[in-house]
A = this chain, B = another copy of it.
């Protein structure tokens, strides 16, 4: 059926090497609070393979992504697990040259990103195809510490043929299954609602694949809407979805998922997202847009100011908390 898929396996599922790495990873509960600039400078290197938490425009680590662009990271690998605005940002910085694609270059119902498309269409990115569930299970395999997981997706399609999956036969039932290789990213960037200074994290609402991403990645940088005391974590241990020993750096960034939606905090800023898509229609205008919104903006609060500041953010809070009515406010 055309498997093994013919594309490149960017990150081989070497569980023994991962074990050796995780053996060396600190388990000390030390303070990891830092700035987005410092965290990205120290932990994201040219050539690294990157995974991004959330879901495209929802609970994405925008502040960290801007920093990756601002610091000019190049030749990154990208896991395109519903990568929408996150992919768009990294494409704006021309940061990546290889991509495991499940969903890229689009912003769901909002349309396609011309700039991101261009990068793919010009052949500047090596692509391996997957599906969303396939990437989700690849993260899970890594989080479980096994080199692959079996699944019943992709079979029979060009998606599989252009993937790096293999096919196996179930030793019990004899049925055909796709084998999805574990994906251990070099770095994960994840935005959460609350974290303590050690990196114990709480997330409200859907978790998408972030539990697995945080466990699969070698290094994890977390941005949090707010830092809370360690006592708060211990008050409700069942709410800790990422334990501190997965996390390498913690950054406090209120509104850190803007212009995306962070559940129970603020809705997405559709005007700003539209402005991005519009700016991309003309490469010169877009270069200016990126210069102005990212390169010449020193940090995330300055970006928020440029986008309307607290007044706009307050509107987005209303839209989040009073949906239906909220739309009328915009």
Contact = CB atoms under 8 A, between A and B. Distances in A.
A170 B151 contact: no
A171 B145 contact: no
Contact of A150 (B14, B16, B147): B147
Interface string A82-97: 0000000000000000
A185 to B, nearest CB: 17
Nearest to A236: B204
A177 interface: yes
Interface string A147-168: 1111110000000000000101
B14 A177 contact: no
Chain A interface, DSSP helix/strand/loop, else mixed = loop
Copies of this chain, complex-wide, total 2
Nearest to A16: B175
B173 A179 contact: no
A36 B227 CA distance: 45
A21 interface: no
A171 B148 CA distance: 8
Contacts of A172: 9, 12-13, 147-148, 166, 179, 181
A238 interface: yes
Contacts of A168: 168, 171
A132 to B, nearest CB: 15
A177 B182 CA distance: 14
A205 interface: yes
A12 B170 CA distance: 12
B149 A173 contact: no
